[in-house]
Chain A
Amino acid sequence: MGNRIALTGNEAVALGMKQIAPDVVAAYPITPQTEVVQIFSQYVADGDVDTEFVTVESEHSAMSAALGASAAGARAMTATSSNGLELMFEVVNITASLRLPIVMPIVNRAITGPINIHCDHSDVMTIRDSSWILLFGENAQEAYDNLLMANRIAEHSDILLPVAVNMDGFIISHAVENIEIVEDEVVKEFVGDYYPEKYLLDAANPITMGPVDLQDYLFEHKRQQIEAIKKVSGVVRQVSQEFAELTGRHYDLFEEYRLDDAEVALIAIGSTAGTAKAAIDNLREQGIKVGLLKIRLYRPFPAKEIVEALKGVKTIGVMDRAESYSNTGGPLYADIRAAMYDVGGTAQVMNIVYGIGGRDMTVRDLENLITQLQKVTETGEIEERIIHYGVRD
């Protein structure tokens, strides 16, 4: 099924958007996401897709236009990176609160200050408490596949929350890969048409969206959001199952790689997971029992399932491509530590903050790191629980 073609992550995502053919795309270019918008707008200009493409003057307007379109009843998308996400932040939160199932690829890039255009996860981590559903891919194939599944998850009647499809800036967005593309008609059928139950242009059933919501009701509306969030894992699994039947490509909430008998486990998000697999294969040959847990669904956080998968692991290295400036490590570390608390146990959990501003994390780096974690497993001694890996003293 499908064709194999060489595409960059950005090209794959733009192609996926064309195949989904949303009613409205409103987007503003920002490195490294620019090509997504550029290529998609070319599809529109060439008549390859009949999406209404709105060229806006900023990301705040991009998300506002997507929100308006979605509220009106359209299937709406946008895409961004880094400071673009920060500029749209206000509306990002409102789309989730208004329960509008917008889909947005985020090409992850460091938040500027000082200026940096390269990959880390400091952008997306700022919306982790927004009730957006956050999916991550390890490579362009997964970014493409996650995109094709995103509308089904967002628009599910139990969910009705926006979904961000994340991929690492440059490392995935600009690297060419051999990708298996799903045929246009198959995508069309899988994604399906969008029929919102309530929308503003339904003149026969007029409604109001986004009115003032004070002490007497806001809490109840937030409780509804939590209820939807509780159901996300189930829906992600169900949609991924259908996708697997169609394509043979299997996805879950996270991927376990050589984790069954592992004593040392890395937990990683994004492209570093691929690098980690190579390092794990090398060290397995030397008899080190090491495995990987790769996060696909980061929000909501599948804490229970992750803890279950980590049973028997003695040392856990949580890889964060962002800091939280809390003196308690990166965001993923906080999530994992909190999850582990519920089960007690004796596993050592350490944090490796790495790759900030696009700093390379090579196979050798990861081998080195795994060796350090292995040493902790053997001696039980930890010098520093939170390591900023690769930073110069």
Chain B
Amino acid sequence: MGDSVKKPGWKDIPIGGRIEDAGNSQKYYVGGWRTRRPVWIKENCIHCLFCWVACPDAAIVVEDGKIQGFDYDHCKGCGICARECPAKSPAIQMRSENIEDQFDS
């Protein structure tokens, strides 16, 4: 009620709560679930892609076989990537969300 965007009515949506367009979870922002965020330390990264394999979401952004950073709209902050990172000096650090600005700049 009172939504600014009018959502479709019961006649215009698939029955039973089915989602019929594949891959649409990408449109859904779930970054707000995070309490900690992974921060990439570029100079330590050996681009082994372990983090990309281990991420239970698909929140590691890779281009041409190289890590580009994180998709913070979908990263849940679970920390698995940081745990799996084999670089001698860790290339991913988990930081508290509320001090994110220090590390983003």
Contacts and interface: CB of A to CB of B under 8 A. Distances in A.
Interface of A: 97-100, 160, 198, 205-211, 213, 216-218, 220-221, 223-224, 227-228
Contact of A209 (B7, B8, B16): B16
B13 A207 contact: no
B68 to A, nearest CB: 27
Where chain A touches its partner, the secondary structure class is: loop
A296 B60 CA distance: 58
A201 to B, nearest CB: 14
Interface string B4-27: 000111100111111110100000
Interface residues of B, number: 14
A209 B13 CA distance: 13
Given A98-B16, A217-B17, A227 B22 contact: no
Contact of A221 (B3, B7, B16): B16
A98 B14 CA distance: 11
B22 A221 contact: no
Contacts of A213: 17
B13 A220 contact: yes
A349 to B, nearest CB: 35
Contact of B15 (A99, A208, A210): A99
Contacts of B20: 198, 205, 207
A193 B3 CA distance: 44
Contact of A211 (B3, B8, B10, B19): B19
A238 B13 CA distance: 27
Given A206-B22, A207-B22, A98 B10 contact: no
A209 to B, nearest CB: 6
Nearest to A160: B15
Contacts of B17: 97-98, 209-211, 213, 217-218, 221
Contacts of B16: 97-100, 160, 209-210, 221, 224
B22 A223 contact: no
B1 to A, nearest CB: 9
Given A213-B17, A217-B17, 9 more contacts: A198-B14, A205-B20, A209-B16, A211-B17, A221-B16, A223-B10, A224-B10, A224-B15, A228-B15
A220 B19 contact: no
18 contacts: A97-B16, A98-B17, A99-B16, A100-B16, A198-B18, A198-B20, A206-B22, A207-B20, A209-B16, A209-B18, A210-B17, A213-B17, A217-B7, A218-B17, A220-B13, A224-B15, A227-B10, A228-B15
A209 B3 CA distance: 26
Interface in B7-49: 7-10, 13-20, 22
A150 B11 CA distance: 26
